[in-house]
Structure 1
């Protein structure tokens, strides 16, 4: 049940000392997504997904202590502050399951007995639906008691040993913690517990994280006092002679909010500003589109941004706040696109897209996406419209041409895409839910996994075409490629990069809607296999998200694989520096059956690896960064390495 790496501290199991409130908040914020996932899995599966999400966030936010507190048992060396808030979160989630699992509800929990949706400020979303495996796991969890679900979450999410998980449950008030752990282990045998890492069980998949809990708590009294003062002021203003010039609500004439949301105050770049800029980002884009002078349209867009009504369909990529602009934003586009009036703003941190139907009574849409620090390829295109399996992009002024290719057919030539004078492309296909992965890819670019290739204008730094693909956000994701030492990423538009992504692109499907900023494939090793099999390749694919999270896959490509054959995933993890610019070193291994029917442990490390060692069920130790060890089907072993600088390196799992 290995889904992700839990936080650790030096030392083994011990009793924690005093934990300060600010230490607890720091641990809660840093590991918020992990804690909410544990609470979400622990809560009764019979609840609606929306209510489970809201309850999971509420119990985790209420896990913050009000004063300095003595920490609970500190299992497996977890930091005391994290152990404290984790125990509190588990305890809170368990309390909500007691009535449904036959436990006696504690007296005084009247609020929990009322079937009203819990309050969690700013949260209105729920996890994405999974496939058949996730559904089976959900059903298995629904058959467990609340303590067993909590044990399942602790074993699968925090990777605790069984006795340590029982200790955490005991601290949370479970009467029979070891029985709960046994029930969880038994349930795990009939399901794929690794699916706990999927979006089905991620209540933060579309959320930025918790609010500032301490500041919110500290300012409650101030907020109450302010509300009382406002009530007094309204009463005085309502009295005869109580009004005065220049007074009014935010957004009224003369107020700061009104100036920010005034169409006349929006910033507009020139068509040649990017040529003089020292940084190719959204701040260098000009205002384009046929309706950039339509003050009424811009006014509606800004007003909706400032205060979206209930009828407005609002969405935001992971880690993106939905607050009104603090300063006048920059206008990037205003025009009609596929039956809708579309306005695109940039406020230095976010891209904001407003869309209203040109006719009929369809909903108004307001979409937010992170864009801080975007430059070069990451700031070269924005999705203007997505409908009927197609998308239109607004390209940067430094883009000279656009073409479309299928990542699953790297040998097929890209097809040109017409782009208007305003930078808007013709409709291009977006990746389908199944994307044809695992099957024979068709030769048409509309099949398989579509990607757009942007050719820069002469003189643009880098000068190489950029490959981008749609993963469900406003900004398409930049695909890069590296080979050799250092994992230094370059453009993936060359033959080697396209070949690598032909084997890796299907893995992009799990990243849809997670706010991916960039993702790169690294050819880090090649290895000649025995019995005349040929040469295998090892790939490491790393995705970095706007929220600061990451996903890393290590993939093994056997000899003779077809150009579009998905590589075998040998390791999948999160929250790691592996395959990245800071600490690129990576190590992984797989069991492989040769053409002669013999089994081998096949292992490889990146160029930073100096020697390999295998222990456990198999034994091996030798210099070099590849190893082939005779084995049997189902063999178990531990793989490790030593880097050229003497540092130890464990294999990714």
Structure 2
């Protein structure tokens, strides 16, 4: 826990101080209010209420500062922040709260935070089962980093009658404090969707032709078939036409033979058979199809960048339908996208719909799909051609892979990669073995894991070999920067080794390039690793550039390095076809060949230019 400061009892807060604290810490205060408010209000209403509570938290004049803990020196907003936070908690915990229309009021739109993954969904469901004081205790512990003694004082000041009961109830919640900083619980980073446009139009028509509108509604309700009820969390249908109805018919789902992949000319998702213990559950399949076609307001929808979210053009292919941990999961494929529908086992409230673009996925790109994430663990559904699966720590190249049992193509839970907040001490990846070799894939927070390779662009190899594992080990944790970016594959290429001045040994230069499913948006990192170091340091990075890729297999980067004797140097390295390197600006110097070492000063900046063997120039990656 961080050290705590205490507000002096003699201090007082005027409205200007409180306003300054509110403005500076507004996103944090709104997130706190959002976490404490009852989840049953609906996500859109809860967002607006959280903003309204914070905006009404200013005092009307100068008031004594509360005798409760402030934030640490790093995040301390002073007595003003402490007072405003207390006002927000009091309002969020007030029973029977009746607010005037919240400001800002948004007409015609529903606003809700960006959807997270299965971990965030599970946490939100657990929080919804707690009382308001228990939710406040959990948020103060995890979001505000307050120890229990300070949490007790804050809750008492906020008017909680039984603080001990609130703390005991919060203790029963498994620790996922890292998830409180997720976009799932950020009411300031919002997605906008229209309200029911058709309903608004019907209301207008009803004012003109009420009787006709009633007749139309009666006709819709009297239509034969399953009607709207079995669609679960889906929105009401906008229209009924043969193509749309066919796409919603569970009986028309494409189902592939379990042995089709053995004789097919293609080896991708199109030859995956339907697996799971609920492939015959027509009601579940219909709900999944209906939510895909028209997700309701309560459905959490996410998609990898560049992935369309619309309904299927026709009946999709069923890949999986079954019970996974505490949810019913359906995985569908329409030739371009994977869609995963998940609903709690107890009902459709809290359903989630996720999309991933997979067009052009070959054998290497269609080996696994994420079925669920819960409590930091991941379950995968594997391709029918995968013979063995294992779990490996990419940070430890010398350790072996731990075998993962498979049940109907589903792996046992394996620990996910290290979370983004906090130190990175391990990075677990999935090892897949089939008849053509062994591959490594990593979970980057999306439905389809990213493939890991190593070697010079145009001649890459799977990252499962001993040399490739040693190449990847210092840079594994840099993969956290690629979460939720629609990454298809990541290659690590050690393009240079450089002797360090003053007998410092030899450093390695590695370029990692992440390719995306949408083609554009590739991310490139040039990283520098010194002898004995546990991690590589990012020397330069770029996006949407051809460097370090198959079309442009060359790179140039530099870094400032300090020797053990306290001397600073500019070190630069280029790919093997670099004939010379020149530095200009804060440091000037040149060298023949792909390496440059020049004495420098701390904090200087330099522009790097290289000349290739064919006479063309190359600039330093930034």
* Bin for the TM-score computed over the shorter chain: 0.5 to 0.7
Other-structure match for 2:568 = 599
CA distance in 1 between partners of 2:399 and 2:224 (Å) = 66
Using the TM superposition, give the Cα deviation of residue 295 of structure 1 relative to its aligned residue in structure 2, in angstroms: 1.7
CA distance in 1 between partners of 2:317 and 2:544 (Å) = 34
1:524 and 2:490 equivalent? no
Using the TM superposition, give the Cα deviation of residue 540 of structure 1 relative to its aligned residue in structure 2, in angstroms: 0.7
Q: Deviations over 1:302-346 (max 9, x none)?
A: 122222223333322322232111111000011121132211101
Other-structure match for 1:478 = 451
Other-structure match for 1:323 = 310
1:269 and 2:256 equivalent? yes
CA distance in 1 between partners of 2:571 and 2:262 (Å) = 51
> Helix, strand or coil: the match of 1:258?
helix
Instruction: Report matched runs for 1:1-400 at 5 Å.
Output: 115-117=104-106, 124-126=112-114, 235=212, 238=215, 255-359=242-346, 363-400=350-387
CA spacing shift, 1:414–1:335, aligned 2, 3 Å: same
1:615 and 2:584 equivalent? yes
Tell whether the 8 Å contact from 1:206 to 1:318 is kept in structure 2 after alignment: no
CA distance in 2 between partners of 1:210 and 1:296 (Å) = 27
CA distance in 2 between partners of 1:203 and 1:603 (Å) = 44
CA distance in 1 between partners of 2:350 and 2:496 (Å) = 51
CA distance in 2 between partners of 1:203 and 1:535 (Å) = 48
CA distance in 2 between partners of 1:506 and 1:591 (Å) = 22
1:581 and 2:550 equivalent? yes
Other-structure match for 1:32 = none
Using the TM superposition, give the Cα deviation of residue 526 of structure 1 relative to its aligned residue in structure 2, in angstroms: 1.2
Other-structure match for 1:431 = 417
Other-structure match for 1:464 = 437
Q: Deviations over 1:588-642 (max 9, x none)?
A: 1112233454332211001232221122233333431111223333343221101
Tell whether the 8 Å contact from 2:343 to 2:352 is kept in structure 1 after alignment: yes
Q: CA RMSD in A?
A: 4.3
Tell whether the 8 Å contact from 2:475 to 2:535 is kept in structure 1 after alignment: yes
Using the TM superposition, give the Cα deviation of residue 517 of structure 1 relative to its aligned residue in structure 2, in angstroms: 1.8
Using the TM superposition, give the Cα deviation of residue 199 of structure 1 relative to its aligned residue in structure 2, in angstroms: 9.5
Using the TM superposition, give the Cα deviation of residue 490 of structure 1 relative to its aligned residue in structure 2, in angstroms: 1.9
Other-structure match for 1:557 = 529
Tell whether the 8 Å contact from 1:409 to 1:502 is kept in structure 2 after alignment: yes
CA distance in 2 between partners of 1:237 and 1:293 (Å) = 37
TM-score of the aligned structures, taking structure 1 as reference length: 0.61
1:566 and 2:538 equivalent? no
Tell whether the 8 Å contact from 1:487 to 1:579 is kept in structure 2 after alignment: no
Other-structure match for 1:627 = 596
Using the TM superposition, give the Cα deviation of residue 413 of structure 1 relative to its aligned residue in structure 2, in angstroms: 0.9
Other-structure match for 1:455 = 433
Other-structure match for 1:57 = none
Q: Deviations over 1:15-40 (max 9, x none)?
A: xxxxxxxxxxxxxxxxxxxxxxxxxx
> Helix, strand or coil: the match of 1:368?
strand
Using the TM superposition, give the Cα deviation of residue 408 of structure 1 relative to its aligned residue in structure 2, in angstroms: 1.0
Other-structure match for 2:131 = none
Tell whether the 8 Å contact from 1:354 to 1:366 is kept in structure 2 after alignment: yes
> Helix, strand or coil: the match of 1:531?
helix
CA distance in 2 between partners of 1:318 and 1:260 (Å) = 24
Greater alpha carbon shift after TM alignment, 322-331 vs 357-366: 357-366
CA distance in 2 between partners of 1:127 and 1:210 (Å) = 13
Which blocks of at least 5 consecutive residues in structure 1 are unaligned?
1-42, 55-112, 129-134, 136-197, 212-219, 442-447
Using the TM superposition, give the Cα deviation of residue 435 of structure 1 relative to its aligned residue in structure 2, in angstroms: 8.2
Q: Deviations over 1:175-204 (max 9, x none)?
A: xxxxxxxxxxxxxxxxxxxxxxx999x999
Tell whether the 8 Å contact from 2:115 to 2:300 is kept in structure 1 after alignment: no
CA distance in 1 between partners of 2:296 and 2:243 (Å) = 21
Using the TM superposition, give the Cα deviation of residue 267 of structure 1 relative to its aligned residue in structure 2, in angstroms: 0.4
Tell whether the 8 Å contact from 2:340 to 2:355 is kept in structure 1 after alignment: yes
Tell whether the 8 Å contact from 1:206 to 1:317 is kept in structure 2 after alignment: no
1:501 and 2:472 equivalent? yes
Using the TM superposition, give the Cα deviation of residue 407 of structure 1 relative to its aligned residue in structure 2, in angstroms: 0.9
CA distance in 1 between partners of 2:556 and 2:335 (Å) = 39
CA distance in 1 between partners of 2:559 and 2:377 (Å) = 39
Using the TM superposition, give the Cα deviation of residue 232 of structure 1 relative to its aligned residue in structure 2, in angstroms: 8.9
Q: Deviations over 1:151-198 (max 9, x none)?
A: xxxxxxxxxxxxxxxxxxxxxxxxxxxxxxxxxxxxxxxxxxxxxxx9
CA distance in 2 between partners of 1:477 and 1:205 (Å) = 26
CA distance in 2 between partners of 1:494 and 1:475 (Å) = 22
CA distance in 1 between partners of 2:299 and 2:501 (Å) = 61
Q: Deviations over 1:516-574 (max 9, x none)?
A: 2221111111122233222211001112233431221111111233xxx1101110222
CA distance in 2 between partners of 1:611 and 1:317 (Å) = 41
CA distance in 2 between partners of 1:346 and 1:312 (Å) = 19
Other-structure match for 2:406 = 419
CA distance in 2 between partners of 1:328 and 1:206 (Å) = 32
CA distance in 2 between partners of 1:496 and 1:652 (Å) = 26
Other-structure match for 2:73 = none
CA distance in 1 between partners of 2:188 and 2:617 (Å) = 34
CA spacing shift, 1:476–1:600, aligned 2, 3 Å: same
Other-structure match for 1:159 = none
Tell whether the 8 Å contact from 2:379 to 2:412 is kept in structure 1 after alignment: yes
CA distance in 2 between partners of 1:44 and 1:371 (Å) = 42
Q: Deviations over 1:496-527 (max 9, x none)?
A: 22112211111111222222222111111112
CA spacing shift, 1:44–1:550, aligned 2, 3 Å: farther
Using the TM superposition, give the Cα deviation of residue 381 of structure 1 relative to its aligned residue in structure 2, in angstroms: 0.2
> Helix, strand or coil: the match of 1:354?
strand
> Helix, strand or coil: the match of 2:370?
strand
Greater alpha carbon shift after TM alignment, 257-266 vs 626-635: 626-635
CA spacing shift, 1:543–1:632, aligned 2, 3 Å: same
Tell whether the 8 Å contact from 2:237 to 2:294 is kept in structure 1 after alignment: no
CA distance in 1 between partners of 2:590 and 2:188 (Å) = 43
CA spacing shift, 1:246–1:391, aligned 2, 3 Å: closer
CA distance in 1 between partners of 2:611 and 2:266 (Å) = 40
TM-score of the aligned structures, taking structure 2 as reference length: 0.64
Using the TM superposition, give the Cα deviation of residue 262 of structure 1 relative to its aligned residue in structure 2, in angstroms: 0.1
Tell whether the 8 Å contact from 1:205 to 1:513 is kept in structure 2 after alignment: no
> Helix, strand or coil: the match of 2:502?
coil
Q: How many positions carry a matched residue from both structures?
A: 454
Tell whether the 8 Å contact from 2:513 to 2:524 is kept in structure 1 after alignment: yes
